[in-house]
Amino acid sequence: MISMIVAIDQKNGIGKNNGLLAHIKPDLLYFKSITEGHTNIMGYNTYMSLPIKPLPNRNNIVITRKQIKIEGVTVLHSIEEALKWIEQSDEEEVFICGGANIYEQFMPYADRLYITHIFHDFNAEVFFPSISKKWKIVSTKANRENIEHKYPHLFTIYEK
C-alpha cells in the first residue's frame, strides 16, 4: 500500500522557504507514530530539510536525479524506480513524505492519505495536490490539545 502523509494549511499549502509551515508538536509526534518502522520516500530537498537525517527507525529512500550516495539512505533516481522498489518489497505500507513534486507524481498511485488539516493560512510557497472526490474520509481524530493549539488542526485519513 502506498500512503502519503502531509500537513496542509487551509489552501493546501505544505511548505515555505524549503521548510515546514510551522512546528506543530502534536503533528510531528503523529508523523513519527505513523511512519516509524516503515519505508519513508521523499525528494532530495525534503530530505535535506530534515532536522535529523536519516529519519530514525525508518527505511529512508530519497528520489533525486543527482548521482550521489547518502549514508544510511537508499537513493533512487525516478518515480518509476521507486514504484518498482515498492512492488518488489514486502512492505505492507510505504509512506510518501514530500515534497510537492513527489506528492504530485505519486498521487495517482496512492491508496491512503494521512492529512493533518491545519486551520490557518501560512502563505505557503508549495502545495499539496487537490484531494478529489474519489477520496473518502475514513477517519478523523482530534483532541483538546489539537483544537486549542495556536494552529488548530485535526488528523484525517482518506482512502480511495
Residue range 86-140, pLDDT digits in tens: 999 999 999 999 999 999 999 999 999 999 999 999 999 999 999 999 999 999 9
Phi, psi dihedrals of residue 135, rounded to the nearest 5°: -85, 130
Q: How far apart are CA 154 and CA 146, in angstroms?
A: 6
Pairing status of strand 112-118 against strand 94-96: unpaired
pLDDT average, residue stretch 53-74:
96
Confidence grade of residue 18 (pLDDT, cut at 50, 70, 90): confident
Task: Check whether 20 has a pLDDT greater than 90.
Answer: no
Task: Check whether 43 has a pLDDT greater than 90.
Answer: yes
Residue entry with cell 502531509: 6
- DSSP code of residue 19: B
Q: How far apart are CA 33 and CA 30, in angstroms?
A: 5
Q: Does domain 2-159 have CATH number 3.40.430.10?
A: yes
Q: Are 153 and 119 in contact (CB under 8 A)?
A: yes
Question: What is the chain's alpha carbon radius of gyration, rounded to the nearest angstrom?
Answer: 15
Q: State yes or no: cis peptide before 54, omega within 30 of 0.
A: yes
Confidence grade of residue 19 (pLDDT, cut at 50, 70, 90): confident
